[in-house]
Amino acid sequence: MVSKAFEEYLKTMYILKKQSGNVRVTDVANKMNCTKPSVNKALHNLKDNGLVNYESYGTIELTEEGENLAKKILEAYDIIYLFLKDVLNLNDDEAREEAEKMKSNLNDNTINELAKYVHKVLDLNSLDCNYDINQEKCRSCVRRKIN
């Protein structure tokens, strides 16, 4: 199990990779407003858990498992954020802050049910594909129907 702090590192690395292609310790430290030693400590832990490939002074690469977990973290946040903002009508800042707090405390089944509810209430689609936050195919299907 990866801690909330390590989830934030994974999420940040995934976003940086999508934005610029290569990810370095300095990039992560700047984005997260933390020190390079903190990033290095996190990287060693994530590497031990098979989530990143990293050699000192090199670029950071997410493993397939690390990338899938980062996507899952972002998806959970998005679902909760939509619920708070568009269903409960919280203001944007409050919805973002609360979604960040809630996402790590909900289990996958709860996220799946919340996703189905949010999509039904917002009439985005029916999620008849048996949405599961752990299945990339379902997330792709959902995004395709929304767009």
Q: State which amino acid sits at residue 47.
A: K
Q: Are 129 and 138 in contact (CB under 8 A)?
A: yes
Strand partners for 62 = 52
- CATH 1.10.10.10 in the chain: give the residue spans: 4-62
Please report the beta strands in 15-142, taking only residues with DSSP state E, as ranges in sequence order: 52-53, 61-62
Q: Are 13 and 52 in contact (CB under 8 A)?
A: yes
Q: Using pLDDT thresholds of 50, 70 and 90, give the confidence band for residue 146.
A: very low
At 61 the pLDDT is: 95
pLDDT tens digits, residue range 113-129? 888 888 777 766 555 55
Q: Using pLDDT thresholds of 50, 70 and 90, give the confidence band for residue 103.
A: confident
The pLDDT of 82-86, averaged and rounded, is 87
Give the whole-angstrom CA distance, residue 88 versus residue 103: 16
H-run or E-run covering 40: helix 36-48
At 1 the pLDDT is: 58
At 129 the pLDDT is: 53
At 34 the pLDDT is: 94
Give the whole-angstrom CA distance, residue 138 versus residue 111: 13
**Mean of per-residue pLDDT scores for the chain:** 82
On the question of pLDDT at 17 being above 60, the answer is: yes
Q: Using pLDDT thresholds of 50, 70 and 90, give the confidence band for residue 37.
A: very high
Asked whether the CA dihedral 100, 102, 106, 108 is positive or negative, the reply is: negative
Q: Domain 4-62 adopts which CATH fold? A: Arc Repressor Mutant, subunit A (1.10.10)
Asked whether the CA dihedral 13, 17, 20, 24 is positive or negative, the reply is: positive
